[in-house]
Amino acid sequence: MKAFDYERAADAQAAVALVAGHPDAAFLGGGTNLVDHMKLGIVSPEMLVDVTRLPFGAVEERDDGGVRIGAAVRNSDLAADPLIRQRYPVLSEALVAGASGQLRNLATTGGNLLQRTRCVYFQDRTTPCNKREPGSGCSAIGGHSREMAIFGVSEHCIATHPSDMAVAMAALGAVVQVLGPDGSRSIPIDELHRLPGDVPERDTTLAHGELITAIDLPPVAGHSAYRKVRDRASYAFALVSVAAVLDVAGGNVADVRIALGGVAHKPWRAATAEERLRGGPATEDVFRAAAEAELEAAAPTEDNAFKVPLARNTIVALLRDLSERR
Amino acid sequence: METTITLTVDGEERTVTVNTRVTLLDLLREHLAVVAPKKGCDHGQCGSCTVLLGGRRVTTCLAFAVQHDGAEITTASGLGTAEDLHPVQQAFLDHDGFQCGYCTPGQICSAVGMLAELEAGWPSHVTPNVASAPERTLAEIRERMSGNLCRCGAYVNIVAAIEQAAGR
């Protein structure tokens, strides 16, 4: 590992100034992904600015009935928070479906959003990867692609975003609060992560030096849940996951939000399915038709074509489960 | 870059000057000669380096030591003594919760941390309703220990040991 300087900023502005002022500096949260990447030689920052001691460690109720989550809140604390468990069970369920107890005790909310793909080629420096080394080629296309994306892929990258938490936040319509060298801004979570396009090396729309300080969840009606399908019963990344919020009134869908994990370079908001469902009858046939409409946009490889029926079935099963809750 | 940090390890205050690149695991093993936590995968995938950091179980291979200046760490060797074992340590002996023993210090620290999380009412992936308090079932123990691998496959006895320790 290359040598680096370690800094602990006095406040958020100072942390941002330190990273913004150094092209090879990075923020350090729980370290569970970044430290691994530094060991593997995927990244080699010259300076790390520790943001875990900044005052972003609270989960607070907001005036609008929503909740603000500090970026430094650990994944385990967020999953166990009474407000989250009662109002946003989909988020608590997504968190405990990810990683292990030991990792969740270290990993932060901001860091979880910014974790990078687990694409085997991205993590293996001996193979070409456009995300790790722009222009070197994509080894997954035509290679081992069972875990790769089926939505929003480009000819340069078919990697998936690995987070479970972010999928729940996408379904909830979270808003990410960011502090940068020029002040603060709010980013709808759907605009935080990006599709690979021609610049697969960029995971998010954040500029260098911008720091996530909080995530706001709006109030939501209805029931919510997270369902994850993976190769092992525990401690594995999703092949497909679905986060959904469903509000049924008089047998019809009053509101619905669906996001998919393990299928795209970002948490995939199933806007087409939602559009089909809103206002219509909350029945299994309609759920299936909506899921199929969403999956028309899928462009799988030979290795991961199984994700298309798997995603359809998981969407239908989760919506059916939520529609039966009282 | 060298930095001087002070940590409390198994009840003893230790001050040491280390390079920023040193992980908490390497600090413990290579600089402080505290060898209970083991280096298995060194990538956060096996759990053999688990210790209690401020009472919470964490993997030490994915943490830079410099970030944890001032921390209080308990490793498996700080949980009990040979004459007075921690209940979880005794239970692992009673149930043969190991074969080669390499993953055992991590398993034991993880179990101690996990039982505290269960006691605090934290939900897990198998908790039927995350809004309610979890029950101490075998399914809960298995799920919550999934971050600790045992390549000898002593899982059945590990779960039995934890069940015994939890019942005390």
User: Which CATH architecture best describes the domain B87-166?
Assistant: Orthogonal Bundle (1.10)
Chain A interface, best mutation among B64, B108, B162, by max A CB count within 10 A: B64
pLDDT (tens digit, 9 = 90+) per residue, A69-88? 999 999 999 999 999 999 99
Spell out the CATH class of B2-77: alpha beta
Does A85 lie at the interface with B, CB-CB under 8 angstroms? yes
**Between the CA of residue B50 and those of A101, A165, B28, B142, what are the distances in Å?**
10, 23, 12, 17
Look at the alpha carbons of B141, B147, B148, B152 in this order and tell me if their dihedral is positive or negative.
positive
What does the alpha-carbon distance between residue B54 and residue B59 come to, in Å, rounded to a whole number?
13
Kindly report, as residue ranges, where domains of CATH 3.10.20.30 are found in chain B: 2-77
pLDDT (tens digit, 9 = 90+) per residue, B89-144? 999 999 999 999 999 999 999 999 999 999 999 999 999 999 999 999 999 999 99
pLDDT (tens digit, 9 = 90+) per residue, A47-76? 999 999 999 999 999 999 999 999 999 999
Does B33 lie at the interface with A, CB-CB under 8 angstroms? no
State the average pLDDT over residues B151-157.
97
pLDDT (tens digit, 9 = 90+) per residue, A216-249? 999 999 999 999 999 999 999 999 999 999 999 9
Contact between A163 and A189 under an 8 Å Cβ cutoff? The reply is no
Extended strands (E) in A140-182: 175-180
Does A326 lie at the interface with B, CB-CB under 8 angstroms? no
- Count of CB atoms within 10 A of residue B132's CB? 11
Q: Answer whether B123 sits within 8 Å of A105, measured CB to CB.
A: no
| Local confidence band at B168 (pLDDT 50, 70, 90 cut-offs) | low
Kindly report, as residue ranges, where domains of CATH 1.10.150.120 are found in chain B: 87-166
Count CA atoms closer than 13 A to A143's CA, side-chain side: 17
- Count of CB atoms within 10 A of residue A146's CB? 15
Q: Answer whether B20 sits within 8 Å of A5, measured CB to CB.
A: yes
Q: Answer whether A103 sits within 8 Å of B44, measured CB to CB.
A: yes
DSSP-assigned letter for residue B135? P
- pTM (whole model) above 0.90: yes
Contact residues on chain B for A91, CB-CB shorter than 8 A: none
pLDDT of residue A326: 83
Q: CATH for A223-323? A: 3.30.390.50
Does B2 lie at the interface with A, CB-CB under 8 angstroms? no
Q: Answer whether A100 sits within 8 Å of B47, measured CB to CB.
A: yes
User: Tokens standing for B140?
Assistant: 């809960």
Of residues A238, A220, A76, the one with CA closest to residue B124: A76
What is the value of ipTM here, to two decimals? 0.98
In which residue ranges of chain A is pLDDT below 70?
A: none
pLDDT (tens digit, 9 = 90+) per residue, B39-90? 999 999 999 999 999 999 999 999 999 999 999 999 999 999 999 999 999 9
Q: Answer whether B127 sits within 8 Å of A103, measured CB to CB.
A: no
